[in-house]
Every structure is written in C-alpha cells, then in structure tokens.
Amino acid sequence: MNIVIVGLSHKTAPVEIREIVAFPTTAMEAPLQQMLELPSVIEAVIVSTCNRVELYAISRQPVAAVIEMKQFMADFHNLEMETLQDHLYDFEGKDAIQHVLRVAASLDSMMVGEPQILGQIKTAYGYACEYKTVGLILNRFLNKAFSVAKRVRTETAIASNAVSVSFAAVELARKIFDSLENKTVMLIGAGEMCELAAKHFVNNGVSKVLVTNRTFSRAEKLAEEFDGVAVSFDNFREQLHRVDIVLSSTGAPDYVLDAKKLKQVCKERRYKPMFLIDIAVPRDIDPAANKLDSIYLYDVDDLQGVVQANVKERQKEAAKAELIIADEVNQFQTWLAALEVKPTIVALRQQLEKVRCAEVQKTLSSLNGLSDKERKAIESMTCALVNKILHQPTYVLKQANNNGDGSLYIDAVRTLFDLPDPVDQKSDKLNDCSDI
C-alpha cells in the first residue's frame, strides 16, 4: 500500500496557474468522489490553498495512480495536460510521507513557520471525512501529520520570531514596554498595513486605539473595528501625550511629526517611553526624533532588519524540525508496512498449507493399510516441514518491516507465491475518521 501525492505550489507554479486549478472549499464533494473513482485510488483527500493544490491518495499501483491523478486535475479544470505538466510534482512512499509532514509543519511554506497551512489541511481532511473518501491509512496518516506539526512547534522555536513588518513592530514594542497592557496606540493613516499592525497590537494586550486619517470617515471606520476612537487629522498632535505607541503610514510628502513637536510631547509625558514606528516611504516622522530621551523611533528599514534576522532564526529552527520529521517518517513507515506484513505471512502460510494438505491427501490415498498412527506421523512430518520452510521468510519479513524495507519484501513474496491482494479499502473501512 502506498501514499501518493500529486500537486503544485508557489515553488513550481505562478499564481495564474494556481488559481485556475484551485478547488473551491465550498464544493469539495464532487472532486473528492471523482478522484475516488479513479481505478488505482483507494482513499482520497484534496488540499487547496492560495499557495498550493495537492491530491493525497492511497494506492497499490503508485505509478498508475500518479498518471491518473495528474489527468484528473487537468480534466476537472478543463485544461490540457501540457498546461500543467511542467508545474506538477509527485511523490510516493517515504518521499510522500516526508512531503506531507513537512507541509503540515510549515517547512514547505512561503514563510517558514506560518501556522495557516495546518488549519487548511485539517479542513481538507474534514471534507474528506464528511464525504467518506478516507479510510484507515489516510485517517491515521493525517492525524500523524497534525501531531507532528504540534511537536515541531512545541520542541522548536520555529514560529516564535516575527517575520512580518507589522508583527515585528509588536515584537519590538514588547521589548520596550515588557507588557502592552494598559498601553495606548495611535494609528496615523488608515491603510492596510496600519490595520494589520493594529490587529497584532490589540491581540497582544493594547487597551486603547486612536485612529487619525486625512479622510475622517476612514478613520472612523477603522476605529470602529477595534472599538477605538477616531481623531481629527488637524489636531491629532494634541493627543500625542496620551499615546505610548505611534504607528504612522501616510502618503504625505513631508514629515507629519517633527522633532520639535515630539520634544514637547516628551516633556508632557514626563519622559515616559514612547515607541514610534514609521513605515511610510517617504518617511512620516523626523529621524532627528530618535535623539530625544525616551523616544524609540524605528523606520521601515529597521523593521525589515528585524524581520530578516528573525527569518534566519527560523531557518535555524527549521533544521531542528527536519530531524523531527525524519524520525516521524520512519515511525509511520514502520506502521504502514506492518499493515501488510501480518496479512502477507498469513496468506503465505495458508498457501503452503493448502499445497501441503493436497499433497498429503494425494499420498495417503495411494497408500493402503496405514495405521492411524502412521497417518498422523505423515501429517506431523509435513506440518513440521512447512513450518521450517516458513521460518526464514517469516523472520526476514518481520526484520525488513522493522528496518523500513518491508514493502519491498512483501511485494516480492506476494509475486513469487502468487498471493491474493488484501481486501480493497474502497469497500472496507472507508471514512474511518475515528481520530478527527
């Protein structure tokens, strides 16, 4: 049994390709059922995000499954295969296990350590459970992926360093003030960057938000979002003595705050620390303000420097995470191989026992006058012979499974002895989502 992955991501396909192969999360039943109908696919999950589209499957014929899944992706979106071929990747077996665990742990994300992808995979798994396209293996595998992602976040600091400008501002503020509780932040400008930063500040304990903008209605709208107060742009400077943190991002051609005004504000605040974040280009705040006592001024380049340093720290933590992934891949491979080792050993024994019984019966029918004791002796001797023949293959299969090579030996034994396949999971234990 193999785990098979076919997909594309931000690393292999531009956004214009990713958007046309995306599967709408509000209508997943049809594609999941169509994927499950592919001849070589036994279980199916579809993960579709803005940065990746991936098909997860269980198959006994991985080569055929890859071909069918690629064609399915093209056909479902009414595309020629040539349009997708160069953008698609595929994995099977150990490589597929490793890929999914790395994706869930956000090691393959555009920004290493971002948490969104784990929730997106959980959502995809939920749809597959709802529409009954997963069974024992993908259920166990994806729950393993979720636990591995949690282990990576617990045992490494991969998500602890800010890697966005807006969150870097919050991180710096916490270093200056220790705690953001009971702090007041003023937003000068009501653009997207200010809004995002405000969300981070509020989530980290800031108690009051003031918003000013040249268009007062926009200031009111943003202030309402954070249960804050809109301030007229004409007199926002008169409110600065009440403010601990200022975030400025306007399109003004000149400084909206000069050093002289800020010097006066420092006196009014009795030189309590004041953190100014200037993410405007051209700058909104006079750089000379940084020379004032109790003023901490950072511009967009300063914040980018913090972000780059934090990215490097995340990369160091990613190396630790890769070791965790390698360990977990081996564990899951062992479990997956064990699913087929026991049935294979049982099937092999049944096959040899069938041959033994037929040959014993044939022999005994040609021998007349044998006592019951002699017949039992022949039975015992042939049973012992089969046991001895089976001893080494059984031992090798179990050892190979423990060493991670079980599937290779299982396939060889099933081929050499023409053993029947286990029950097809399309008709057995599909939607086994007991761990969801």
> 430: which 2 tokens?
């599909």
Q: Exactly one of 50, 129, 357, 383 is catalytic; which is it?
A: 50
50 is catalytic: yes
Distances (CA, A) of 223 to 190, 247, 256: 9, 14, 20
> 385: which 2 tokens?
């012979």
Contact 106, 114 (CB under 8 A): yes
Cα three-residue angle 333-336-341, rounded to 5 degrees: 115
Please enumerate in sequence order all residues whose Cβ is within 8 A of that of 138, keeping only pairs 6 or more positions apart, or say none.
Answer: 3, 43, 44, 45, 56, 58, 125, 128
Angle between helices 93-104 and 136-155 in degrees, nearest 10: 50
Distance of CA 394 to the CA centre of its chain: 38
Burial of 71 (0-12, 13-18, 19+ CB in 10 A): middle
Question: Measured between alpha carbons, how far is 122 from 58 in angstroms, rounded to an integer?
Answer: 18
How big, in percent rounded to 5, are the helix, strand and coil portions of the chain?
55, 15, 30
Contact 44, 57 (CB under 8 A): yes
Catalytic residue annotation:
50
